[in-house]
Amino acid sequence: MRNHSVLAAVLLCSAISAWAQSRPSVVGPWEGNFRDSLSSGTLHFDFEACSKGHPGGRYRTSAGESGSFTGREKGQVLKLTLTQEGTCQGYYTVTLRFKQDTGTGTYSGRDCQGQHDYGVISIARANGKQSPAPLPPRTPSELDQIAWWQHEEPIARQAAEQNREGYETEQRYKEAQASASENEVKKLQMENELLERKVELLKKLDATTDPAERERLRREIDMIPAVEPGPPAQLSETTLFDSQGAPVAYIDTKDEQTIYLWKGQPVAYLFADGQETLVYGFNGRHLGWFEAGLIRDRDGSIVGFVKGAVPMTTHVEPSKEPKELKPLAGTRRLPSPKPLYNDAWASVPLGVFLSRGRE
């Protein structure tokens, strides 16, 4: 018994790296077969030298799965923990018993396919001298388990898909929160720039006595969107709302005062004519006026407005669609005589009114 104890102390890694002279080392490649309640095939083990008395290495299977393993020796039995990597991550617990150049054992585990039970494995050293032992036949309980799984597999897969979708939804929500934080920072930056621009224009307005210049500065100040809580807007874009408070179009102040519909179609533009700002279509047609944050038709009725110009709650602004290319502007026709303004809403909706600039 004493001699056996001394020998056991010398065997640092048992079957994996039996450094004792009485047994050859099994460090190196091994190949074999496996089978369980869900899958079967061939596999390849690369046993590495022991580190701190514990075995380890890499493995791959004929199904394209691969991963790493570590283990512990207990008597003549080696217990391995396999960690499956890649798109179908999982783990397995393997119990192997070696006999010269062959090894047999059992295993179980779980991966993206589900629970793998009744696993059996047989391997041999990959030197061609000896083949792996045949796998044992399936037991009645194993066959029952397989039949049950084949019945339950669609349900289990559906539940797994729902869990995956729930996880992805949660991830998208977290990403949206992070994006919202970034947008909030951008929104604050834009608000500061708007306020700085407004202060600059007010200073110029206060410093000049020229009536035409003062009127021009007032119009430019009116076109600066109000700084209010809400979704961040592009600094150069002023939203136009219709009679119901819905966002229908916007003025791009950095794109020659072009008016775009929300779907990205350029339909009109603003044109400064002395002390007045006219709304012209790209077809050269005079549509109306833009004054004090209001779009008016040729009858003087209100067609649209910028936020703050009308005491009305506006709708949430959805994402804009990409801008289309602008057409060449036609020759501007003479504007209609300016009517007396009134507080009534025009009968024509804002979108239809602006679209007349492309007819």
Q: Collapse the DSSP code of 167 into the 3-class scheme (helix H, G, I; strand E, B; otherwise coil) and give the result.
A: helix
- Of 321, 329, 318, 319, the residue nearest 264 (C-alpha): 321
pLDDT in tens, 307-349: 888 888 888 888 888 899 998 888 999 998 989 988 899 999 9
Look at residue 112 in the predicted model and tell me its pLDDT. 86
* Predicted TM-score of the model (pTM): 0.39
The most confident of 8-12, 203-207, 274-278, 282-286, by mean pLDDT: 282-286
Look at residue 23 in the predicted model and tell me its pLDDT. 41
CA–CA separation, 287 and 283 (whole Å): 10
Look at residue 147 in the predicted model and tell me its pLDDT. 64
Look at residue 196 in the predicted model and tell me its pLDDT. 76
Look at residue 151 in the predicted model and tell me its pLDDT. 57
From the number of C-beta atoms within 10 Å of its C-beta (0-12, 13-18, 19+), residue 288 rates as buried
From the number of C-beta atoms within 10 Å of its C-beta (0-12, 13-18, 19+), residue 77 rates as middle
From the number of C-beta atoms within 10 Å of its C-beta (0-12, 13-18, 19+), residue 207 rates as exposed
Look at residue 301 in the predicted model and tell me its pLDDT. 93
pLDDT in tens, 157-202: 565 565 555 556 556 655 655 655 566 666 666 777 777 777 788 8
Q: Which residues of 153-186 are buried (b: 16+ CB within 10 A; e: fewer)?
A: eeeeeeeeeeeeeeeeeeeeeeeeeeeeeeeeee
Is the pLDDT at 352 greater than 90? The verdict is yes
Look at residue 14 in the predicted model and tell me its pLDDT. 44
pLDDT in tens, 222-258: 777 665 544 444 457 889 999 999 999 999 888 888 9
CA–CA separation, 55 and 18 (whole Å): 11
CA–CA separation, 280 and 284 (whole Å): 6
Look at residue 165 in the predicted model and tell me its pLDDT. 59
Q: Assign 275 a pLDDT band (cuts: 50, 70, 90).
A: confident
* Residues in Cβ contact with 252 at an 8 Å cutoff, skipping those fewer than 6 apart: 236, 237, 258, 259, 260
- The string of DSSP codes covering 102-160 is EEEEEEEEEETTEEEEEEEEEEEETTSSSPPPPPPPPPHHHHHHHHHHHHHHHHHHHHH
Q: In the chain, which ranges are E strands?
A: 28-35, 40-51, 54-61, 66-74, 77-84, 90-99, 102-111, 114-125, 237-241, 247-252, 258-261, 266-273, 276-281, 286-291, 294-297, 302-305
Look at residue 295 in the predicted model and tell me its pLDDT. 94
- Of 131, 78, 87, the residue nearest 113 (C-alpha): 87
* CATH code, residues 2-137: 2.40.128.120
pLDDT in tens, 68-82: 988 887 766 788 899
Look at residue 18 in the predicted model and tell me its pLDDT. 41
Look at residue 87 in the predicted model and tell me its pLDDT. 86
DSSP state of 356: G
DSSP state of 344: P
